Structure 1
């Protein structure tokens, strides 16, 4: 598998406050990878740096063989990076259908691109609610819409930041089902979430951040076998 995303020695700051210190990771095409760590350890800042929202102070980010750390967010998005942000951020005054159509673009030049029909097949509830406005949806339905909206861009890399946060158990299961289907279809995914057991079952590799530094990287089998890592770096 070819490397899709490579981050090397990334350092990022908000003004004088440095947040990331020499963060490095690599994701290959078709892999599901995670960023793990307690709140405030640099996970979302890493995502923001990938997206160009919080530019790197030093280090480099390569996506699909091209350096992107100095590019504006819109150029990074056009290259095939899509995010399902924490808080969903859907358009409240547009219908479900309009939210999806607004982001339609085959940026991956896929022979089988994501379309309205494919998104409705993945999330039948969205088809049922396609004429409802975004602010008329439940939290779980808004999360499905946020994922569907990202998929409509046909991304090479799909990033999910706390996609199951605040959802009822049955709706969380719907999101995990969706992620498994996306993985089986070959979609490359980067996930931030707190449900480590579910991530171990889903993902190929994991990176743990502590105070803006990478403190562990490895595969699911190794993480499963080292519960002391969970207690040290992930438990509240």
Structure 2
């Protein structure tokens, strides 16, 4: 109760957001340390924004570790979808903490609930309808005040199980990635795969994820032996 009362005092908001930024600095561009919607994952596993990559193009190396960037354009093909999605979810959390413009996505009344599956705010009336029609799908809905009383890590933990990575194509943002293109080394939604014949061969995103996990486990074991 005391924590919720303190949250109502506006002078605490900048302090909470500063803590939030410190905990999740790893999702910022490793070059300029700024938030960016266009983060690229290099072969050395460093993440940089398009601006930093463009400035670094004449050098042709990662500015962090000096590993060569194989693409002639200086811009890697692979988007860091994990960091991009984390940024989007943290923006929602900051919006909840700030308490500004929290309106129901259906009727524009005060948003009292958040559905992590639909990624929508709901007023009490729309929340009741939502629970009635979507009860079989087990959508996880929480009160905004309960989210506000928790931490950013709690908020991400609740959304992690139900959320899928969205397509990096701006026109397909509502589509979840389910296919992996081995040629481009990039996850795709079904629409991207169907419309662009250059994407081939394909595999299921889950099988590729499992392969990557096994590869990382092997690398981790090798590193332990070298240490």
- TM-score, length-normalised on structure 1? 0.29
Structure number with higher relative contact order (C-alpha < 8 Å, ≥ 6 residues apart): 1
Which is higher, the Rg of structure 1 or of structure 2? 2
Q: Whose helix fraction is larger, Structure 1's or Structure 2's?
A: 2
Which structure shows the higher strand fraction? 1
TM-score for both structures, normalised by structure 2? 0.30
